[in-house]
Every structure is written in C-alpha cells, then in structure tokens.
Amino acid sequence: MKKYFKIFFLSFQTFLEYRWELFSKYFVEMVGVFFMLFVWKAITDEYGNIGGYSFESFVVYYLLFGIFRNLKASDIWVTFDEWIRTGNLSIWLTKPMDAKMFAIFREISRVLMEMAVTLFVYVPIILLIPLFRHSIVISLETIIWVLLFSVLTFIFTSLFYLSIGLMAFWLKSTYGLGNIVQQTINILRGAWFPLDIAPLWFQNLVFALPFAYTLYTPIKIILGGGEKIDYLKGIWVLIVTSLICFVIVKLMWKTGLKQYEAVGQ
C-alpha cells in the first residue's frame, strides 16, 4: 500500500506544477456557471420563480455546484482507454503494482488538488456576500454528511468510469461513448438544473439511480434541504451500486485481459 501512497504524493506534486493550468480551467468553468445564471435570470424575469427557486436561489445553487462538480473521478476512463488502445497497458502488467489502483490513487490526488483550487475560488465569494452566508447551513452534522457523500461519490465514480474505460478492450475508442455518458449523467445528477424542479416522474427515476446523490444531494445538504431518510437512502444506493460496479469491473478486467492478450496488443 505504501507504493500507492507514494504515487498519490508524486501525482499531487505533479498537479501542483501545473497549478496555473488548473486556475485557467476553473476560470473557464466559472464562465460556464455564469452563462447558466444568465439563462436562469432571463427565465425568472419572464416567468417568475421556477419550482420555488428565485433567481437568487439559482445563484446559490450554481455556486455550490461549482464546488462539488469535480468530486467525480471521471478522468479514469480516459486513462484506461489510452492505455488499452496504445498498448501501454502491457507496461503496467509487468510492473509490481495494480494498474487500476495506480489510476485511482492518481485520481485522488487530482480531485484533492482541484477541490483545493475550487475552495480557494468559491468559498470567499460564498462567505463575503450575505445572500450566500444566509442561504447555507454549516454545522458538524452537515460537514459529516457532505464528507460521507463525497467519499462514496469518489468510490462510485471511480468504479463506474473505470468500467467505461475498460470497454476499450472491445471498442476502438470509448471517447464517443464516454462523452455521451458524461452529458447524460450531468442531467441526472443535477448539473443543468436543480432536480426538484423537474416533473415527479423524472425525480422518481433519478433518485432510484446513484447519480443524483453525487452532486444534487450534497448541495441540498449545504442548503439545509432534504430529510435524513433521503440521505440514508442515498448512502445505501451509492454503496450498493459501487459494489455492483466493483463486480462488473472485476469481470471486465478478467475477460478483457484475455481479449487483450489474444489479439497480441
């Protein structure tokens, strides 16, 4: 396990060297957030409150979205897609470490680095403006719930996106599939709009799936919304789906390696 922690620290140092690229990435992401706010400003000006959300409520929601949006380990599928397509996976198969664990620990360092930059950018805005300070709920219980969902989100998304990347064993490229999956998940997890303004049938669908609990639920916890029974349901769904993804990844890895070796890559 020590070697994986060493990978984590080395990867973290590497991301530190490219910190300005991270800041520029977040500048672009903030432009996207403000674009969505302009859209909702136009909508609320025309139709008034939407599903109980005023424009000010949308502002708070999207700023919190900016904080939690990068908790997912979505880069891992790109890593395995490249390794499998280029044949570089063979290098990792000869090393005394698990390629999957290497990628996961590298993702942990990336997510932590990006979260540090995110908090540096967004937290001062939230704390300095009274509208935001009065809209959020910060307590020990809130922090515990958010941390729990954050950890489970990372575990689930690592396994889920790893399964997408491993499909490169059978596909020429997973980029198209991966992008479609990501955009679909953005809708299901509340990236485009708060899920509680959607029709009831849509809410019933998304809350039966794990994706809403990776973004929408942590935001609602910070906003003081939802019930503990809903949080417990989310924890249960994330744990069960993570176990399912773990089994799927093991089967894909075992079967895929046979395919990989059979074609002489």
Q: Which one-letter amino acid corresponds to residue 37? A: L
Cα separation, 69 vs 76, in Å, equals: 16
pLDDT tens figures, 127-151 = 777 766 667 777 888 889 999 999 9
pLDDT tier for residue 265 given thresholds of 50, 70 and 90 = very low
pLDDT of 20 above 80? no
Question: pLDDT at residue 252 above 60?
Answer: yes
pLDDT at 3 over 70: no
Cβ-contact 160, 189 below 8 angstroms: no
What gap in Å lies between CA 213 and CA 157, rounded to an integer? Answer: 11
Q: Is residue 212 pLDDT above 80, yes or no?
A: yes
Look at residue 247 in the predicted model and tell me its pLDDT. Answer: 96
Q: Give me the pLDDT at residue 19, please.
A: 57
More confident residue, 164 or 18: 164
For the segment 157-176, what is each residue's pLDDT rounded down to a tens digit?
999 999 999 998 888 888 88
- Return the DSSP state at 103: H
Residue 246 has pLDDT above 70, yes or no: yes
Q: What is the per-residue pLDDT across 172-210, written as a single tens digit (0 to 9) for each?
A: 888 888 889 988 998 999 888 889 888 999 999 999 999
Q: Could you tell me what percent of the chain has a pLDDT over 90?
A: 25
Plot region of 11 (φ>0 → left; ψ -120 to 50 → alpha; else → beta): alpha
Residue 80 scores a pLDDT above 80: yes
Q: Is the pLDDT of residue 211 over 70?
A: yes
Query: Mean pLDDT over residues 6-18, rounded?
Result: 54
The letter for the amino acid at 106 is: R
pTM for the full predicted model:
0.83
Q: Which one is predicted more confidently, 235 or 77?
A: 235
